[in-house]
Amino acid sequence: MTEHTLTVAGVAVDTRHWIGGRRVASAETFTDVSPIDGSVIGEISRGTALEAAAAVAAAKAAFPAWAATSRAERARILHAVADGVEKRIEELSIVETTDNGALLRSHRRGVMPRVAHNFRFFADWLLKLEHEDFETRGHTNHVSWDPAGPSVLITPWNAPLMLATWKVAPALAAGNTVVLKPAEWSPLTASLLADIAAEAGLPAGVFNVVQGYGSEIGDALTSHPDVRRISFTGSVPTARRIAESAAGNLTPLSLELGGKSPLLVFADADLDVAVDLAVEQYDNAGQVCLAATRFLVEESVAEEFTRRFVEKAATLTQGDPRHETTDIGPNIHPRQLEKIDAFVQRALAAGARAVVGGHRKDIQYYAPTLLTDVAQDSEIVQEEVFGPVLTLQTFSTEEEAVRLANDTRFGLAATLATADAERAERVTAQLVAGTVWVNCFFVRDLQAPFGGSRHSGVGREGGTWSFDFYCDVKNTVTAPNGWKNHG
């Protein structure tokens, strides 16, 4: 072990940046803390504008060769990265659980296998990416996807590696080079990914990782004239700053900015299904951008729905996320927990009633909470809390349900519980959302478009939509009979 290596649950993690195929240390560090118990994990290299510029320069230098690499070879290397992830699922799982507090069993069974799948899916999609040629007055149109260039990817802390590779995999598949800036509250698995990518044969400079505070290195990355694409997942205020920074170079952006999504429960719904869907919104301690945090329940079944929800929520176990029986772990950071509690206390002071929870359990854990008696224009209904805090309102007509569902500045997702197929079709057609689930939740396919409306984001990624973003899409028009016969 060296001074730049941490041992996290028996796993060695390098704390330095990964730039141009080598480890680079910074003069200063920042402290990484585990949300499980508040213990210090270690000191991480704290990037500056110098490291940001070096990473972009490395990505720019590596771009021509990687862009010229055949689709088949790029796909082969991405599959090798997936192989490396699968070999280290246990290590990646325990490190990420230590770093961000999400359930270890979820990492083992779902999240880290999905990380590998991200690479495999986009590798395979690359090989079949095509648009059928078409004719215009006898001329042939041919659509192609050209690599755009160095891409800056800025990722959140709630599912660090899965959400990072959701961007990294298509960007690399497209032939772009990448600078990944992971969230400072959960940087460790990005460092491990750099090791895995290098072992898989990804050429130096194609994938770079720069750690640190967005306020210190973000502008250096997003305003850089050599950056050709920026993809960000996070808050609306940060997205505004990124957009302003990128505007000078007209750098294309993909922004996924969270939401305040509704769960609509109609009287004809299977209430057992509806309650299961509702309790599922506590997943990852409520730190899920897609979570349906606003329950809109038809008046005639609201009392029964609430009773069943309270009973079901009482069966959840909150505690150490490394334990197999734990259902809800800690929130990511004391600052986030303070923010959550401030939302709840302001709501209670304004007249809301806590049917479940309504308080912090200790410095790391917030009690699962359900608030009723909330006004549509109240802060707790309109603003994203990003914690285990849900609200419940009632409606009397389908029209009212749709109006309440759409009455926020967000539009990321919506969930609908009903036994009436015609109603489901009518309502989903009217909902402002990038994704709508009917009698289910969190069913995601990588070939589907993903993104939000309104303040929930700009653009769509997934399947061909990812390549449309990470590439310069070109149309070549060829005249008929324009060739000389060279015999």
- Say yes or no: 234 and 339 in one domain: no
Q: Are 125 and 447 in contact (CB under 8 A)?
A: yes
Q: Is 45 a member of any domain?
A: yes
Number of structural domains the chain divides into? 2
**Two structure tokens written together for 135:** 């004719």
Claim to verify: residue 48 and residue 132 sit in the same structural domain: yes
In-domain check, residue 481: no
Residues 243 and 351 in one domain: no
256 is catalytic: yes
Name the active-site residue from 91, 184, 256, 384: 256
Does residue 447 fall inside a structural domain?
Answer: no
Do 278 and 314 sit in the same domain of this protein?
Answer: yes
| Same domain (yes/no): 267, 145 | no
- Judge contact between 409 and 454, C-beta under 8 A: yes
Instruction: Render pLDDT for 380-402 as a digit per residue (tens, 0 to 9).
Output: 999 999 999 999 999 999 999 99
Q: Is position 446 within any domain?
A: no
Same domain assignment for residues 229 and 286: no
Does residue 444 lie within any of the structural domains? no
373 and 461 both lie in a single domain: no
In a domain, 482, yes or no: no
> What is the predicted pLDDT for the residue at 452?
95
What is the tens place of the pLDDT at every residue in 150-184?
Answer: 999 999 999 999 999 999 999 999 999 999 999 99
Q: How confident is the model at residue 1 (pLDDT cuts 50, 70, 90)?
A: low
Check whether residue 383 and residue 345 sit in a common domain: yes
Is residue 370 one of the residues assigned to a domain? Answer: yes
In the set 51, 289, 384, 471, the catalytic residue is 289
Percent of the chain with pLDDT over 70: 99
Q: Domain of 265: which CATH number?
A: 3.40.309.10
- Same domain for 154 and 210, yes or no, is yes
258 pLDDT tier (thresholds 50, 70, 90) = confident
443 assigned to some structural domain? no
User: Is there a single domain that holds both residue 191 and residue 313?
Assistant: no
Residue 248: CATH number of its domain: 3.40.605.10
Would the pLDDT of 58 be above 60? Answer: yes
In terms of domains, do 114 and 222 share one? yes
Give the N- to C-terminal CA distance of the chain in Å, as an integer: 67
Give residue-wise pLDDT tens across range 73-123: 999 999 999 999 999 999 999 999 999 999 999 999 999 999 999 999 999
Listed in sequence order, the DSSP H helices in 259-373 are 271-279, 299-313, 334-349
Predicted confidence at residue 486, as pLDDT, reads 59
Tell me which residue range forms the domain holding 398.
261-438
Q: Tokens 């400079």 sit at which residue?
A: 205
SS3 253: strand
Looking at the fold, whether 137 and 207 belong to one and the same domain comes out as yes
Among all chains, which residue has been given the structure tokens 């909902």? 431
Interatomic CA distance for residues 355 and 346, integer angstroms: 16
**Residue 199 annotated as catalytic:** no
